[in-house]
Structure 1
Amino acid sequence: MIAQMLLKSKEKTTYKEDAVGEKPIRSVAKALSWRVIGTLDTLVVSYILTGEMAVAASIASVDFLTKMVLYFFHERLWNSIKWGK
């Protein structure tokens, strides 16, 4: 789904902006950049705890995918909430 959004963004550059003017593609970029940082943290912590790079990389890979998707939807949900804006 996220990959489809990235591909569609190249085809047509007009996205409906939310109430604060943020496009969904910005949420995708933020999710990706944050997950890179989070995944490096998970990789280091997993390696320290297990002592095995293969196990640490497996944990970090699953963590990257699941949390990126969760972050995207969390971000879009919060952008639709008017409280505090």
Structure 2
Amino acid sequence: MVEDKKRSIVKAISWRTLGTVDTMLISFIVTGSPLAAISIGGFELITKTLLYYFHERAWNKIDFGREKTHLEYQI
């Protein structure tokens, strides 16, 4: 089974959105500054989305932990 690149992109964006909200909340609690929280969260959103995408694509090339389904054996 191979995942489409679009699926990896959507997964990266949805995961990072959740992660960024968490980072902003923690940053706000630690700093008390909404501007600092938004700045940290924004920077983190960009870098970690890219890291996740490339990580996901690399793992997509590795068969470790995957099993072929009955339909894949027929193809």
* TM-score bin (small chain): 0.7 to 0.9
Q: Find the counterpart in structure 1 of residue 12 from structure 2.
A: 31
Matches within 5 A, 1:36-75: 36-75=17-56
Query: Which runs of 5 or more structure 2 residues have no equivalent in the other structure?
Result: 67-75
Q: Deviations over 1:41-69 (max 9, x none)?
A: 00000000000000110000000000000
TM-score (norm. length: structure 2): 0.86
Q: Residue type matched to 1:49 in 2?
A: V
Structure 1: how far apart are the matches of 2:41 and 2:29? 13
CA RMSD of aligned residues (A): 0.6
TM-score (norm. length: structure 1): 0.76
Greater relative contact order structure (CA < 8 Å, 6+ sep): 2
- The alpha-carbon deviation at position 21 of structure 1 amounts to 3.0
Q: Which has the larger radius of gyration?
A: 2
Structure 2: how far apart are the matches of 1:22 and 1:78? 10
Structure 1: how far apart are the matches of 2:2 and 2:34? 42
Structure 2: how far apart are the matches of 1:22 and 1:49? 38
Give the count of matched residue pairs: 66
Query: Which runs of 5 or more structure 1 residues have no equivalent in the other structure?
Result: 1-19
Structure 1: how far apart are the matches of 2:49 and 2:33? 24
